[in-house]
Amino acid sequence: MPTPHTLKAVIPVAGLGTRFLPATKALPKEMLPVVDKPVIQYVVEEAVNSGLTDILMITGRNKNALENHFDRNFELEVKLEEKGDEMRLERVTRSTDLADIHYVRQGDPKGLGHAVLKARAHVGQQPFALLLGDDIIDAAEDLLTRMLTLNATTGSCVVALMEVPEDELSAYGVVRVEPTESPDVVRVTELVEKPAAGEAPSNLAIVGRYVLAPEIFDILEHQAPGRGGEIQLTDALQTLAAQSESPGVLGIVYRGSRHDTGDRLAYLKAVVEMALERGDLGPAFGAWLDDFVDARRGRG
Among 205, 249, 270, 275, indicate the residue that binds ligand G1P (CB under 6 A).
Answer: 205
> Could you say whether residue 206 binds ligand G1P (CB under 6 A)?
yes
Q: Which residues contact 142 (CB under 8 A, 6 or more apart)?
A: 49, 50
> Could you say whether residue 115 binds ligand G1P (CB under 6 A)?
no
- Burial of residue 100 (CB within 10 Å: 0-12, 13-18, 19+) is exposed
> Could you say whether residue 223 binds ligand G1P (CB under 6 A)?
no
Count of residues binding ligand G1P (CB under 6 A)?
11
* Secondary element (H or E) of residue 131: strand 128-131
Residue 120 CA to residue 44 CA, distance in Å, equals 20
Among 30, 54, 193, 215, indicate the residue that binds ligand G1P (CB under 6 A).
Answer: 193
Q: Which residues contact 170 (CB under 8 A, 6 or more apart)?
A: 194, 195, 196, 197, 200
> Could you say whether residue 112 binds ligand G1P (CB under 6 A)?
yes
> Could you say whether residue 132 binds ligand G1P (CB under 6 A)?
yes
- DSSP secondary structure code for residue 209 in this structure: E
Closest C-alpha among 171, 173, 209 to residue 188:
173
Among 24, 59, 151, 234, indicate the residue that binds ligand G1P (CB under 6 A).
Answer: 234
> Could you say whether residue 251 binds ligand G1P (CB under 6 A)?
no
Give the range of 29-37, 51-59, 116-124, 201-209 binding ligand G1P by CB under 6 A.
201-209
Give the range of 43-51, 78-86, 177-185, 204-212 binding ligand G1P by CB under 6 A.
204-212
Among 172, 210, 217, 267, indicate the residue that binds ligand G1P (CB under 6 A).
Answer: 172
In the bound state, the residue with its beta carbon closest to ligand G1P is: 173
SS3 53: coil
> Could you say whether residue 169 binds ligand G1P (CB under 6 A)?
no
Residue 242 CA to residue 215 CA, distance in Å, equals 13
Q: Which is nearer to ligand G1P, 31 or 200 (CB)?
A: 200
Would you tell me how many other CB atoms lie within 10 Å of the CB of residue 65? 14
Give the range of 73-81, 86-94, 181-189, 202-210 binding ligand G1P by CB under 6 A.
202-210
Q: Which residues contact 34 (CB under 8 A, 6 or more apart)?
A: 42, 136, 259, 261, 267, 270, 271, 274
> Could you say whether residue 208 binds ligand G1P (CB under 6 A)?
yes
Residues forming contacts to ligand G1P in the complex (CB under 6 A) are 112, 132, 135, 172-173, 193, 205-208, 234
